[in-house]
A and B are shown apart, each in its own frame.
Chain A
Amino acid sequence: MGVTCVCQVPVAEGKSVQQTVDILHKKLEQLGAVKQGNFCVDCETYQSTVNAGGQPSKLLYVMHNSEFPLSCLALFEGGPCLVADTNFDVLMVKLKTHFQNAKGHKVECRGSRYRYCDFLIKVGTVTMSSSVRGISVEVEYCPCVVPGDCWNLMKEFMLSFLGNNVPELPTVFAAKPEGLFAPADSVDTMTQYLELFNKLRKLQITGSNVH
């Protein structure tokens, strides 16, 4: 419910994806973080079958987050988004005629969840149809609700275990005027995940060290 930042960590030189993830886990544990289970974020793509005026059909993304197990988010890229409960999935099945599920495009991110003081850190591997595409790291600072306030604080924290891979302020927050806060729903977090997934979808498969 705080300020979240999702970023991608490149695979370390000469190491596999799993090894890089292990290095990150070790760094976090050295810092004093405590492992608190696993997490899973996934995203399914639906294509609109109704083509209005010859425009390319918009893609609808339906995402789930284990942090909010009873909710499900439906959004268009850069467009409006909807937070619904898990029955929305069943609704999408009923809307088969209007929205087709692009089954091969399902992206998943699974990994461990760590807690350090008031921070929540999730390190996960992004897979698309069982091929590993990359590593994602999500850092959430729970007590604060204004992203502009605590960005420097979060950057300092990420520096301590990510080293040089510290990201810039996410575009989601850069677009907001100063002072507006992240509402209690997970829209900003999921938008960031969606950006990451789309970026990784376009990339080729990482090397030959496929887990």
Chain B
Amino acid sequence: MADAVTVGVNLDAFSHAISGIQALRSSVTRVFESLKDGMKNCEIDLTDQRQKKFITEFQDNLQAVNRDLNELERLSGLVGRPSESHPLHNSGLLSLDPVQDKTPLYSQLLQAYKWSNKLQYHAGLASSLLNQQSLKRSANQLGPSAKRRPKVQPSTLVLPLQYVDDVIARIGRMFPDMTIELFRPNGTSAVLLVTLGKVLKAIVVMRSLFIDRTVVRGFNENVYTKDGKLDIWTKSQYQVFQKVTDHATTALLHYQLPQMPDVVVRSFMTWLRSYIKLFQSSCQRCGHFLQDGLPPTWRDFRTLEAFHDTCRM
């Protein structure tokens, strides 16, 4: 793949120069052959004429060599030089390896280089697009903007505890079959115990009004640890509720609106409430109740329809 490297090579002149070299070689060989043969093959008996003939022949051969050499010099001037500035510096010399089939190092190297350049370009585009919408979930200020001007800390992260209590209480009153209890076992972060009918119990760990993580367990499972505190770490022992926990984590990442966190909590609770019919609904797509032993555990974020995890669009 030598043509991938930019060379100022005139390929035509190159081939002519190669044939010029071959012509030069043959004329030099002729000179030495005639010298080797000497005067023995002369047909004329007289030594004078034989000498003259020999010398004329020798001169002709030497002139042929001279001519060919001049021709070669002219052609080599046309061929030009390969460009000094290798884009890959010393690694461009790898292209001189003739065994391309067994060790395609150079071509692979070029492909990797092009790919990484493209990746860098796309990543730059993506980061500029994503930075347009601030999705900050923390108060830490990263990046160069911190130095330019002091950004106002998102005030939704530092909310008075009473306000958080009020919002949660209001949401708890929205639905009759869902009860929300608020605990504060570790400092100012609220931990909610959401009981949905007789179907499930969900433990939602908050950070001011942002939902941090959630664990969903069955109605008959124990939510407290041996010490009597809320157990926020143990997974459910039932596969169906492990799946629902995964979906709930997806949901809390989906519903995001940094400026209005109470709307987010309301939409999350509305979505969670659709699980009241977890065991009664059949999948909207395949019509069955069970798929691999699991009921439809996925609830669409907009329409709240039930789907199996493998059936969702």
Q: Which residues of A contact B121 (CB under 8 A)?
A: none
B220 touches A150 (CB 8 A): no
Closest Cβ–Cβ distance, residue B218 to chain A (whole Å):
5
B18-26, B30-38, B127-135, B287-295: which lies at the A interface? B287-295
A156 and B294 alpha carbons, distance in the complex (Å):
12
Please pick, from B219, B239, B280, B290, the residue contacting A145 in the complex, using a CB distance under 8 A. Answer: B219
Asked if A118 meets B279 with Cβ closer than 8 Å, knowing A143-B218, A145-B219, A153-B290, the reply is no
Closest Cβ–Cβ distance, residue A2 to chain B (whole Å):
7
A128 and B249 alpha carbons, distance in the complex (Å):
53
Closest Cβ–Cβ distance, residue B52 to chain A (whole Å):
107
**What is the size, in residues, of chain B's interface with A at 8 Å between Cβ atoms?**
21
Chain A 119-150 interface mask (CB, 8 Å, partner B; 1/0): 10000000000000000000001111110011
B238 adjacent to chain A (CB < 8 Å): yes
A145 touches B293 (CB 8 A): no
A195 and B295 alpha carbons, distance in the complex (Å):
30
Chain B residue nearest in CB terms to A146: B198
Please pick, from A143, A145, A150, the residue contacting B241 in the complex, using a CB distance under 8 A. Answer: A143
A156 touches B289 (CB 8 A): yes
Q: Which residues of A contact B220 (CB under 8 A)?
A: 1-2, 145, 184
Q: Which residues of B contact A32 (CB under 8 A)?
A: 293
A173 and B87 alpha carbons, distance in the complex (Å):
80
A160 and B292 alpha carbons, distance in the complex (Å):
12
B293 touches A153 (CB 8 A): no
B295 touches A153 (CB 8 A): yes
A181 adjacent to chain B (CB < 8 Å): yes
Please pick, from A142, A150, A157, A184, the residue contacting B280 in the complex, using a CB distance under 8 A. Answer: A150
A95 adjacent to chain B (CB < 8 Å): no
Q: Which residues of B contact A175 (CB under 8 A)?
A: none
A181 and B220 alpha carbons, distance in the complex (Å):
11
Interface residues on A, range: 20 to 34
A117 and B220 alpha carbons, distance in the complex (Å):
17
Within 8 A of A (CB), among B188-242: 198-199, 218-220, 238-241
A144 touches B279 (CB 8 A): yes
Q: Which residues of A contact B198 (CB under 8 A)?
A: 145-146, 179, 181
A143 touches B238 (CB 8 A): yes
Closest Cβ–Cβ distance, residue A20 to chain B (whole Å):
24
Within 8 A of B (CB), among A139-179: 141-146, 149-150, 152-153, 156-157, 160, 179
A153 touches B239 (CB 8 A): no
Q: Which residues of B contact A156 (CB under 8 A)?
A: 288-290
Chain B residue nearest in CB terms to A143: B238
A116 touches B293 (CB 8 A): yes
Chain B 279-313 interface mask (CB, 8 Å, partner A; 1/0): 11010000011101111000000000000000000
Q: What 4 A-B pairs come out closest when comparing CB atoms? A: A117-B293, A150-B279, A143-B238, A149-B279
By a beta-carbon cutoff of 8 Å, the part of chain A in contact with chain B is: 1-2, 32, 116-119, 141-146, 149-150, 152-153, 156-157, 160, 179, 181, 184
20 additional A-B pairs beyond A118-B294, A141-B279, beta carbons within 8 Å, are A32-B293, A117-B240, A117-B294, A118-B239, A118-B293, A119-B293, A142-B238, A143-B218, A144-B279, A145-B198, A145-B219, A145-B220, A146-B198, A146-B279, A149-B199, A149-B279, A149-B280, A156-B289, A157-B290, A184-B220
